[in-house]
Structure 1
């Protein structure tokens, strides 16, 4: 599944207040959803024709001199020549919330407003169906299902708010021996954080076996159309 990964992270039970990391994730995701609803986003376009071969063969060949890529009349298409390498090896279309955020990333490009749907369509064809919002500052990855939905003019419900998706995930994880509870939150380093209450009465071997089984559930490629990345967070029981 493109971009899908599963990370297991321990979580300590906190006090009455919200987990600061979760609160930060919520604020970032709210910003992302507002951007998707906007009439325009900003993409970078190089001030001059770029030099270099297309990466992975996915960049359109230029009609100019060999090794050069010229501008087109499509700013989103031009922005694909500046695709960003993500830490997990995928590439994403750089999309910005402001010209200032773009200048903080690079000062040799100019900001061009485009319709979000067009930027999503280009990302779906020219990258790994991903956006990265404000690279260099926010570095917020827009999940693949969101980009695909936006490109097709469809509504997207984030997995951290999608009750049918959560119900199915909870049902499958709840069937794993040793799992006594499942909850959800926006991920810190992934799209979705899955909180697992695991019975520790059988010792660490039992906990490890339950977590391994949960990981096997979540790496199923069938989740790819609904969830981009997942982090499993076991809670002490």
Structure 2
């Protein structure tokens, strides 16, 4: 209340919504990935910091105890190869993801976060842009390096994973 007028003054709150991780994102392939798609090493060099989409799909659960409707959960998609290893799916754009499955929901994340999720789920790879001409598999040591935040750099003798700031 204001001492002079007896009226209430509006209180100032420091509350607000979290800023989106990718403001203004239009769902197209991240600009840094566009010129390198199809070049395995160049994609790996850009992927950790680039925005990709991890598809989330509905998975039917168990029927309710009273015999009613089944529950549905949302889950990231893991593929299982013939050798039993699993891979997390990721896509460079909403369009490439929708070409794979129009019902999947796109979750935008940095490539490093996708790699960390794959590792946390026990997957040994990421399959990037499944069904596209430029699709590729990121596996084993490359997946571990991406998850750790390492960057693939070109050197005079080839490529090497380097840790920024090290």
Q: TM-score range by the shorter chain?
A: 0.5 to 0.7
Deviation at 1:144, TM superposition (A): 1.6
Q: Residues 136-215 of structure 1 correspond to what in structure 2 (within 5 A)?
A: 136-137=131-132, 138-156=134-152, 161-162=158-159
**Who is 2:123 aligned against?**
128
Check the 8 A contact 1:32/1:142 in 2, yes or no.
Answer: no
Q: Residues 53-132 of structure 1 correspond to what in structure 2 (within 5 A)?
A: 68=71, 70-71=73-74, 78-79=75-76, 82-132=77-127
Deviation at 1:161, TM superposition (A): 3.0
Distance of aligned partners of 1:69 and 1:145 in 2 relative to their CA distance in 1, 3 Å threshold: farther
The TM-score with structure 1 as length reference comes to 0.41
Deviation at 1:43, TM superposition (A): 0.8
The separation in 2 between residues aligned to 1:33 and 1:154, in whole angstroms, is 10
Structure 2 stretches lacking a partner, 5+ long = 1-36, 161-166
The separation in 2 between residues aligned to 1:161 and 1:88, in whole angstroms, is 30
Deviation at 1:30, TM superposition (A): 4.3
Structure with higher RCO (Cα < 8 A, 6+ apart):
1
Deviation at 1:162, TM superposition (A): 4.1
Distance of aligned partners of 1:85 and 1:157 in 2 relative to their CA distance in 1, 3 Å threshold: farther
Aligned residues: 117
SS at 1:70 equivalent = strand
Check the 8 A contact 2:49/2:112 in 1, yes or no.
Answer: no
Distance of aligned partners of 1:127 and 1:120 in 2 relative to their CA distance in 1, 3 Å threshold: same
Structure 1 stretches lacking a partner, 5+ long = 1-25, 54-63, 72-77, 164-237
Distance of aligned partners of 1:161 and 1:103 in 2 relative to their CA distance in 1, 3 Å threshold: same
How far does the alpha carbon of each residue in 1:37-72 deviate from its partner, in whole angstroms, 9 at most, with x for none? 4431111012xx41269xxxxxxxxxx96985624x
SS at 2:39 equivalent = helix
Check the 8 A contact 2:48/2:151 in 1, yes or no.
Answer: no
Q: Which has the higher strand share?
A: 2
Check the 8 A contact 2:51/2:92 in 1, yes or no.
Answer: no
RMSD: 3.3
In our comparison, the structure showing a higher alpha carbon Rg is 2
**Who is 2:9 aligned against?**
none
How far does the alpha carbon of each residue in 1:118-152 deviate from its partner, in whole angstroms, 9 at most, with x for none? 21111012143210011122441112212111212
Check the 8 A contact 2:52/2:108 in 1, yes or no.
Answer: yes
**Who is 1:166 aligned against?**
none
